[in-house]
Amino acid sequence: MRMLEERRELIEYGKKLLTARLTRGTGGNLSIWDPETNLMAISPSGIPYEEILVNQVVLMDVETGKIVEGDAVPSSECDMHRIFYKYRDDLRALIHTHTTYAATVACLRQDLPPLHYLLAYAGVNVRCAEYATYGTVRLAKNAFEAMKDRNACLLANHGLLAGGADLAQAFNVTEEVEFCCELYCRTKAMGEPVILDEAELTMMIGRFRNYGQHMEEHEAI
């Protein structure tokens, strides 16, 4: 069985989406891309995340879109995943969800502005893709356009798409964008949020690349 570890990881993160309340039921989908074989593993359609078996995770050829392995029907959004792996080499995992606050902003068809520095995990802002029916090539193309130079985009009247170098990073981007969408909705209910400028977000993007167990340089105080 090819991409066995990736299939298991995809199942694990599907369950994490439920636990973190980033999805419900069978909503959304996840994928992992292997650039060496140009295959992507994607969650099956209509099967609850806690019930997905390893053999039901579908492998597809990114170039042709043909099913290579898997005892289930692939997610209806397989083309939306495939277009990113076909034309971007920096994303190797994608997560699509219908999180409450991201979907709320998406229903307004608004871009999410940088009201909090954590949005830098996605980019200097999060654009909202033009509306298209779910599961269509048009939606895939709209999402790809909206997500240029970004790690996430909103899907108009639909939800959120987030990507990363692996599923852990894609999951983190999903969490942070949903958090910022919640902040946006709450602050808009009270007034107008103060938006950070692009230079600040660009600086934060650079800092996040090196975030972790290392010593940062600090200015004298």
Catalytic residues: 77
SS (H, E, C) the chain: CCCHHHHHHHHHHHHHHHHCCCCCCCCCEEEEEECCCCEEEECECCCCHHHCCHHHCEEEECCCCCEEECCCCECCCHHHHHHHHHHCCCCCEEEEECCHHHHHHHHCCCCECCCCHHHHHCCCCECEECCCCCCCHHHHHHHHHHCCCCCEEEECCCEEEEEECCHHHHHHHHHHHHHHHHHHHHHHHHCCCCCCCHHHHHHHHHHHHCCCCCCCCCCCC
